[in-house]
Structures are given as C-alpha cells and as structure tokens.
Structure 1
Amino acid sequence: MLSRIAESLFWIGRYVERADDTARLLDVHVQILLEDPWAEEDLACRSLLSVMDRPAPPPDLDVGREHVLDVLGYDRLSPSSIAGALVAARENARRAREIVSTELWECLNTTWNQLPSQMRPARPHDYFTWVRERAAIVTGLVESTTSRDDTWHFMVLGRSIERADMTARLLTTRALAGSAGPGWATLLRSCGAHEAFLRTYRGNTSDERAAGFLLLDRLFPRSIVHSLHQAEACLAALEPVADRTSVDDARRHIGLVRTTLEYRPLLEIIDDLPHEMELVQRACSAASDAIRARYFPSGAELTWVGEAL
C-alpha cells in the first residue's frame, strides 16, 4: 500500500473518532453549565480549553460556553474541532478514494454536505447528537464493508489511538473539576457505557468502579486499556515481530502505558488521575509520531541519480 494512502486511512479513523469524542465531551460540559447556576463558567471553560490543548484566551476576556463551542465545535479550519475534524476526514477519504468503499465515501461526503445546516442549532445537544450518529454510521460501515487487511488495520489503528487519548482527556476534565464537575454516571452515559457498566456490576455501583470501568475494562470498547490493546493488535498485524528481542517504537510506547495502567492498583491510579491521563496522552502522541515515521515518511530529500551508461 502506498504510504500516502495508508496515512489517509489512519487519519480517517482519527478524525472521525475525534469528532465523536469531542461531541461527547462538549455535551457533558455544556449540560453541566446549564444545570449548575453557581458554576464558575469562565474557569470551567478555560480548564476545558487547556485539557484540549487549545491556546489560553487573554486574561481580560470573559470565556463562556459560546466561545468554547466556537473553538471546539464549529471551527471548520481547525482539525481539533468537531467541524474541522469532519472536514478533514472527508478530505482524507477523497485522497484514498480508490481504497475506501463507496458506502464509506458517500457517508463522509454526505456528512460534509450536511454540516453547514447542522451547525449552530438552538440546542447544541442536537448538533452533538447528529455528530455521534454520523460517526456511528462511519464506524459501522468500516466494520461491515472493509476486509480485515491493511486498509482496516490502519483505520482502526487511528481510531484506537484517538479513542484512548480522548477518553483520557474526558477523565482529566472530571478530575480537574472535582465536585463541580460531572458525576461518574454522567461520564458513563456520555461514553455510552452506563448500561454496560450496570450489567457488569449488577447495579452494585460506586465511583471507584465507574472510574475503573472507563480506565481498565478489557471488554468495553471505549475503555483506555481496551483501546490500547486494539492499537497494539493492529500494529502487530501490520508488521509482525521478526526480531524476538525487540519491538517497534509505536508498540513500545503503547505497551508501556497500557501495562502501567493494567497492572497497578486502581486506587493508586485514581489518586493522581490527571498525571496518569497526561502519561496516556503523551504515549498516544509518541506512538502517533512513531507510526508517521515508520509508515508515512515525508520530507525525505530527493537525489537525482543520472542514467547509468
């Protein structure tokens, strides 16, 4: 597979997942601000922008939910926002048009065409719901119309790394907000995990178990550990280990942070949750850089070699 095609597939997976997860995170954030009249909106919005690695607004600017929605929801030029991620996903699908299925291309193109009419509704929740539904359709098409070859592995690899990163950011917002932030039940619902969590623990719930479910559950597809396992499996399928004494850099970064989470006491992780989630984000970033260097080399110098006479 050409490296440019592989790179486009990888970023389709990442951008669609980024739009989905950002919509879930913003939905929780806006809902909390609407329900709590005593919430410090400026502080909460600045914290969210910081967690999402966006530049800090000037100190004299009053940052509210409208500013956050503009930056993280409606900015079509920034791939870190919902709208920008959907635009970028469609552009990458166009570049890989000869590889992606017709159904997947039509879904992403339809989403791109519908985006202007869906932005800035009276209720932001309607926009977030539409984004989640479109992302779910994309995921379903990838799973049902793509052979389990390199095409599928690159898309799922991108999706898995992005999902682990965004789930870590969601948990960071909960930890930084403290008692003023969303409850664990709200976070579980935002991830579509509440019913699965209740079935797993048969209604015997607690904050500790809820945190552990999103962090460490090996069967729930949106948990951090499950996402990292999936990313490792895709990397192993793309390039099986030939040297039994070493692994590539991307698998090393992902494996180290996964085992750090998986084989430590849960309370030890929760006690310093923002730091632990920062380590997950750094590992995902480092793995993404390693994947880019290994499979999508760019900037290589071109050297003219004359004809051999």
Structure 2
Amino acid sequence: MRINFKVIISSILLSLSHSAFAQMNIFACEPEYAALAKELAPEASIYSATTAMQDPHQVQARPSLIAKMRRADLVVCAGAELEIGWLPMLQMKAANANVRSTDKGLFFAADHVETLDQLDFVDRSMGDVHTQGNPHLHFSPTRMLTIAQALTNKLIQLEPQNSARYQQHFASFSERWQAASKQWQQRASQLQGMKVIAYHSSFRYLFDFAGIEQVADLEPKPGLAPTSSHLTKLLHRANEGDIDTIIVASYQDPRGAKWLADKADLPVLVLPFSVGGNKQSGDLFSLYDSVLTLLTQAHTAQQAS
C-alpha cells in the first residue's frame, strides 16, 4: 500500500490553518457584554444568556445555556455577585474547566473597576443587595472603557497569536467611544438636578453620570415588588412637586409605577436597560443615545408643564 505523503502533509497543514483561525466561542451573561465582545472580537461566535427584557438576577439554568457554556472559550459577566444565583449552577452542569476561573476563561467586569455602593456588611433583612457594590456598570462610560481594555487583555491572554488584531479592535472602539462620551457628557449636563423615582438601583451609574437624583425607590427593599403601603409613602413624596418622572427599566413590571403616576400626575418613563431594550438600542452606542434622548425629552416636557 502506497502512502501519499503529499496528501497527508496537505491535510495536516489545512488542519493547522483551521485551528489557527478557529472561531472563539464567547458566552456573555448579559447583552451589554455580548455587545462589548462584538466590538472587541467581531470574528467570534458570541452568545448572550439573557436579553434586555429579562431580569439578569434571575435566570434558569436551561439545557440550551448549559450546552453553550460547555462549548465556551470565554465567559464574560458583570460580576459583583449579579449572577450569583445562576452562574455557579451553569458552570457546574457545563463541566467546562476553562471557564470556572478568572485565571483562565472567566471574566468579571466588576473586577476591573471601582463599583458604587459597596457594603461592609449584608444580611437577608436588607433585601437583594451586593457587598461588592452595584453591578450594573454598563451605564458608566469611563468604567466601560476600562472594562474594554481589560477584556481585550483577556482575549489576548487566550489567543496571543491574535494579539495585534485584538489591539486594533480595541483602538478603534476606544477612539469611537471617547468621541461619543464627550457628546454624551454634553447631553447629560442638561439633566443635572433632575429628580426621579425609579425601580431598583438599575440605573445607578447612569444617574451618577448624568447628575440625576433618585429620591426614592419603587421597591420597599431591593428585590421586593412594590407594596400598597410603600406606594402610599411614595405618593406623599411625589406630592411635594419636585419629581420629574418615574423610571422603570424595560424588563421591570410597570404596574406599581403606573399606579403612582396616575395618583401623582407624573409620567412613567420606560428606559432600555441594555442593548435590545428598545428598537433604537442595537449596540452600546445607540443604547446611550436612546436613553439620553428619552431622559431629555421627559425633562423638557416636565419643565414646560
């Protein structure tokens, strides 16, 4: 039997070529990090475990998610305990050793920036709070740029042979992001002093960035739905007359907000919480644009009334 060494060598070289350019599988816990991964690794296969219409605190470890994580080379999550109720279960069932440690293919955004509202002590009586701070980082332009740099470093760690490509993607993103951030800052300056009642601390970083004061929370405690007695207290606060609007995220139940709005004669503003939260928020850039436009319109309308 004659062995065709040319065919064998060609097959080996083809296999090595495919391996060198194999598509990275990225599992994102939230759509904002799927969008960021797309900016930094557009050639990758990217899957988001949640949508902007889901509560990221509460996710079921479905077989489809387990299968996606089993094949993942990199898992990108917000961190700061946001996914503590479901990510460990997924990791266990997926049995993918490469995405169990941040030394390898696990990336937590909150590990790379200073979070707001860190707590020294937490117990169950306080509700759904996080000792490591508020995990909803994606509405902080400066933090997201820092996170993007850290995620680029992680991509390079996993695929050092593609270092130049990842650095190029980050440079492009950084230039566009910083230019957009200047525009966002100018638009946000118009919102300084705006007062709102909001649901949960979902937009904590957005309010911090824009100088908006959340004077009250629709939740009596973080993670608890509005109660009649709590809404009555909020009505007394709203009747002081200095509230611009009541804000809920696209995935949150608006019923308590609508009741309060009807009684206090205030508008309810539904903001996209993440990429895909409305038709205008197809990526991170348009998410910021959409949110700032909606806030500006609400603020202008309230001032004119």
Q: Given the two structures, how large is their TM-score scaled by the length of structure 2?
A: 0.26
Q: Which has the higher strand share?
A: 2
Structure of larger gyration radius:
2
RCO comparison, higher one (Cα < 8 Å, 6+)? 1
Q: Which has the higher helix share?
A: 1
